[in-house]
Amino acid sequence: MSENINKDKEINVNTENPANSLSAEQTAKEQITKENEKNTGNVSASAQTATDETKTKVTEEVKPSEKKIEMIGGVEKKGLWGVLHIYSSPNNAIYQVTDLSNSETIVTKYGKQMVTADKDKPTPYAAMKAMGKIVEILREKGIAGVDVVVRGPGGHTGPWFPGKAAQAAIKQLVRLNFPIGKISDNTPIAHGGCTPKKTKRKK
């Protein structure tokens, strides 16, 4: 009887040991999976922090510390700028400075205001005097520079080029060290339309 009891105990022990080993393996696997999840969570958190840091660095690099400066003709456009309109014809010259939208007039000068004789209105002398006064007013009002727009009579009758006053005015701006952004010619050119008058026959 004693031998049978010992055999039964040995069988029970042998049957209980596999279950215990399986439970131990399961717990070990669960612990490993939990550790892996923790590690992946830490990795994802570190990756998110790294991406956030890179985003902040990129935004800091993109945001300029100063305002953008427009470069036209090698001139830095800092501060307020205007547009100088010069109308030069054989009879007179008109100088007008407006803002960049051409909606507000800052200064207007004529050749007649600079000289007393009518024949001197379109001359370079009158243009130089007018530019001197215009530059003084612009500097008082805080205008840093101008874009120049030149215009002649044009059309069907012409002349199709600005007068001498326009060239003298631009040269005077350069002499006075006043920044010029760009120079453009807006003289109207006839294309089609009414036929011009024919020349008279010589008798």
**Could you tell me if 76 and 165 lie in one domain?**
yes
HSE (CB half, 13 Å, CA atoms) of 135? 18
Query: Do both 97 and 160 map to the same domain?
Result: yes
Q: Indicate whether 51 and 3 sit together in one domain.
A: yes
Q: Cα–Cα distance between 110 and 26 in angstroms, integer?
A: 100
Same domain, 170 and 124: yes
Does one domain contain both 98 and 40? no
- Write the single-letter amino acid at 81: W
* Domain C-terminal end among 41, 63, 85: 63
Let me know whether 55 and 76 are in one domain: no
Q: Please give the tally of structural domains in the chain.
A: 2
Distance CA 97, CA 108 (A): 6
- Give the range among 52-61, 109-118, 119-128 with minimum mean pLDDT: 52-61
Residues 81 and 145 in one domain: yes
The pLDDT confidence band at residue 178, using thresholds 50, 70 and 90, is very high
Report the chain's C-alpha Rg in angstroms.
Answer: 44
Percent of the chain with pLDDT over 90: 35
Q: Do 46 and 79 belong to one domain?
A: no
13: containing domain: 1-63
pLDDT tens for each residue of 96-106: 999 988 888 99
Is residue 137 one of the residues assigned to a domain?
A: yes
Is 46 in the same domain as 78?
no
Q: Is residue 93 part of a domain?
A: yes
Q: Record the tokens describing residue 27, joined without a space.
A: 């717990």
Does pTM surpass 0.75?
no
120 with 55, same domain: the answer is no
